[in-house]
Amino acid sequence: MATKSELEVANWFDQLIHDKKNFTARYLAKVNEVTSIEIDIIVKAFCGVVILALMFSNEAQTICNFFLAIVPILLIYVHPDEKPPANILFLHFSIFGFSTIFDRLLGLIPFYFVLKLALFLALYLPPSNRLIDKFEAMLVPPRK
């Protein structure tokens, strides 16, 4: 039986793919109209291609950092009504900048860029948001 956190994550992914209020679902619907391929198959194929590119491409660093930069930028400037809270974006760009400094060294670790992309995705998952709030509470002193 799935835990509450697992159900939250599954529901979040389902909304991201099928709920038209998310830009990803709207873009997937357009691809579905043009190709007549099921949305779930499009998502699985896209994820598979990205993971294979991150695992075997000589440009894995570029591909990973492209997605980690372009998605938040799209959310901030193109789809501002869908952007996550500012604390998540602040944490995203802080960790992104810091981790990018070490990409050349850490890129020697097999599948590093797949792991990096997965860990950044975890910032946006519903159960992670509570952890981010706790992390922020540790960093920011309480107001008096």
60 pLDDT tier (thresholds 50, 70, 90): very high
**Six-digit token pair at 71?**
């998605």
- 37: domain range? 17-56
Q: Are residues 117 and 79 in the same domain?
A: yes
Report the 10 Å Cβ neighbour count for 44.
11
* Residue 128 counted as domain residue: yes
What pLDDT is stored for residue 90 in this prediction?
Answer: 86
Structural domain count of the chain: 2
Q: Are residues 77 and 143 in the same domain?
A: yes
Q: Are residues 66 and 105 in the same domain?
A: yes
| Contact between residue 62 and residue 89 where contact means Cβ atoms under 8 Å apart | no
Q: Are residues 37 and 88 in the same domain?
A: no
* Residue 1 counted as domain residue: no
| Contact between residue 28 and residue 17 where contact means Cβ atoms under 8 Å apart | yes
**Which residues, other chains included, contact 99 with Cβ-Cβ below 8 Å and sequence gap of 6+?**
106, 116
Q: Are residues 85 and 119 in the same domain?
A: yes
Q: Are residues 65 and 109 in the same domain?
A: yes
Q: Are residues 43 and 96 in the same domain?
A: no
Residue 1 has pLDDT above 90, yes or no: no
* Residue 111 counted as domain residue: yes
pLDDT (mean) for 14-40:
94
C-alpha torsion 64→65→67→73, nearest 10:
170
The 10s digit of each residue's pLDDT in 124-138 is 877 666 666 676 677
